[in-house]
Structure 1
Amino acid sequence: MASSTGTTLDIEARYAWAKSVAQQAAQMGMEFYQQRNDLTVEHKGDDRQDVVSIADKQIEAFIRAQLSEHFPEDGFLGEESGSADLNARCVWVIDPIDGTACFVNGLHNWCVSVGLLVDGEPYLGAIADPNHRELFHGCKGSGAFVNDTPLAVSQARHVREGLTGTGTFHPRGKEHFIPFLQKLLEAGGMFIRNGSGALMTAYVAAGRLIGYYETQLKSWDCVAGLVLVTEAGGRVNDFFRNDGLLDGNPYLVAGPGVYDQLAELIGPSLDG
């Protein structure tokens, strides 16, 4: 339960719904994925890498309809259909398919991300990866899990002790991304980019990655994952500053032993 403003919320019901709807949406996504050659794919604006398919739109519509039925008083922010009631105490932040470019190109690095803000703070989340039959989920104060296994971040003390997730879009890529990669490699680290910010965040929570840095991430890619990382013992940057909910921000999540080192490699742009 949550009652910081005097109104009791049924967090358990919302947590159960998040896990259920994420899994249902992921199965919908898998049906589209298996017929992806027949999908209509559009490019967003002038960015040839940022794509949306009919699957994204239909899955988000499904989640939004389910939300209206179960928690009509809650707000909503989705990647494809925009926002509603952002002043509500509970706001769901949804990415129907995170990793759409991977999805439409036959790569298994995509998922459904369902996160909940309560009083503006990440409170619970579910990330469903149907290709690997994994449901990452967590709730504030109750821990984080993959399926039924508890999650714990890496205990690495130096970037050379594991893999760091990375990502960028072109506007910040040349200015911040390449310098970071150069410094990471010079420090003996290694990087991976799998195309899904939600999955890479979940992998940090699971200790599979020691950290994950993105030059500019959107909230629907990370609200669910932020809960997982903090509940698994990790550290996160101040993502929501300067209206990060709507505009996005630079993003860093990591195990406590390497967070400061990664932040130093990134430099002032992380919190600028």
Structure 2
Amino acid sequence: MNSHEIARRHAFAEEIAREAGAIARRAFRSGDSIRAMEKGAHDLLTETDLDIDRFLIGRLREVFPEDGILTEESGGGSAGNLWVIDPIDGTMNFARRIPHFAVSIAFHAEGKTESGVVYNPILDEMFTARRGFGAFCNGQKMRVRPTRDATDAVIDAGYSSKRPLSDYIALVSRLLEGGFAFVQNGSAAIGLAQVACGRIDGYAELFLHSWDVLAGLLLVEEAGGWTSDFTAGDGLLRGNPVLAGTPAIREALQRILPLDDLLRTD
């Protein structure tokens, strides 16, 4: 796919992320309770997730009917040119009216994520990245934080119910023993965006799906950070562990979370 076609999709991703964000914002600010259904323990689905999912799929099929679409709520295929979408990343926060959630849209072509958009509609923060063109927040160029070392670093340590609780406790223990501080804020997309814009220094989670992270990982890469190879094996369709951070803490984080031991082999 040529640069012009990628640029068209990148601009369109920003447009529809903002439109989808408006749907989420109206629901978030309405006086009605946000109705949520349980997909699993601490894994919620709201009507707004489904509304945004339908909206994004409809808009994409209208403008780019030849592209594939993979979303958290509707699934999808593995076309060479693939939109990877989370209608609301951080649904638990959204359902509890915590303004820490985002619409996440990535475009993956010929084995690479070429465009990533993460939009927090409550703070009106639009994080964008196009491969080779840098990362931006509301039009301002982003760079990762000039972290000194682990004792100067805060890591968002995401929790996944798809791994044993003991593994998460061990991860947090290793972070603390290594001198890191940690937070757990409930949205991988925003966590990675915050690494990219220099608010925190790293992100670690034992298991995520591609719709949670593809856009955010590109933000970190284009802001001068480093990321694990999320699509290794069949990660694009089945998920993988995630590591991302600033250059100064790469080796320390990789010692704490050796990915070779966690990549899916089943």
TM bucket normalised to smaller: over 0.9
Is 1:78–2:71 an aligned residue pair? yes
Is 1:269–2:264 an aligned residue pair? no
1:90 positional shift: 1.5
Question: What is residue 16 of structure 2 aligned with on the other side?
Answer: 21
1:48 positional shift: 2.1
Is 1:238–2:233 an aligned residue pair? no
Q: Does the CA contact (< 8 Å) of 1:263 and 1:270 recur in 2?
A: no
Q: Does the CA contact (< 8 Å) of 1:161 and 1:189 recur in 2?
A: yes
Q: Does the CA contact (< 8 Å) of 1:176 and 1:266 recur in 2?
A: no
1: distance between equivalents of 2:261 and 2:38? 28
1:158 positional shift: 1.4
**Root-mean-square deviation (Å):** 1.6
* 2:125 corresponds to which of 131, 134, 147: 134
What is the DSSP-based 3-state SS (H/G/I as helix, E as strand, rest coil) of the residue aligned with 1:60? helix
1:1-38 deviations in whole A, cap 9, x for unaligned?
x44xxxx7511211110001001101110111123743
Give unmatched runs, 5+ long, in structure 1.
none
Q: Does the CA contact (< 8 Å) of 1:103 and 1:110 recur in 2?
A: yes
1: distance between equivalents of 2:159 and 2:262? 13
What is the DSSP-based 3-state SS (H/G/I as helix, E as strand, rest coil) of the residue aligned with 1:142? coil
In the superposition, relative to structure 1, how do residues 191 and 35 fare at CA in structure 2: closer, same or farther (>3 Å)?
A: same
Is 1:169–2:160 an aligned residue pair? yes
1:71 positional shift: 0.7
1: distance between equivalents of 2:27 and 2:140? 29
1: distance between equivalents of 2:261 and 2:245? 17
Is 1:39–2:34 an aligned residue pair? yes
1:215 positional shift: 0.9
1:187 positional shift: 2.5
Q: Does the CA contact (< 8 Å) of 1:91 and 1:117 recur in 2?
A: yes
What is the DSSP-based 3-state SS (H/G/I as helix, E as strand, rest coil) of the residue aligned with 2:54? helix
Mean Cα deviation higher: 155-164 or 116-125: 155-164
* 2:53 corresponds to which of 46, 51, 60: 60
* TM-score, L = length of structure 2: 0.94
1: distance between equivalents of 2:27 and 2:42? 20
2: distance between equivalents of 1:14 and 1:60? 18
Q: Does the CA contact (< 8 Å) of 1:128 and 1:136 recur in 2?
A: yes
Is 1:225–2:220 an aligned residue pair? no
Q: Does the CA contact (< 8 Å) of 1:214 and 1:252 recur in 2?
A: yes
Question: What is residue 12 of structure 1 aligned with on the other side?
Answer: 7
Matches within 5 A, 1:136-155: 136-155=127-146
| Identity among equivalent pairs (%) | 35
1:207 positional shift: 1.4
What is the DSSP-based 3-state SS (H/G/I as helix, E as strand, rest coil) of the residue aligned with 2:50? helix
Q: Does the CA contact (< 8 Å) of 2:6 and 2:114 recur in 1?
A: no
Q: Does the CA contact (< 8 Å) of 2:129 and 2:135 recur in 1?
A: yes
Give unmatched runs, 5+ long, in structure 2.
none
1:49-85 deviations in whole A, cap 9, x for unaligned?
011001000101000000011111111000001104x
What is the DSSP-based 3-state SS (H/G/I as helix, E as strand, rest coil) of the residue aligned with 2:224? coil
Which residue type is aligned with residue 82 of structure 1? G
Q: Does the CA contact (< 8 Å) of 2:38 and 2:44 recur in 1?
A: yes
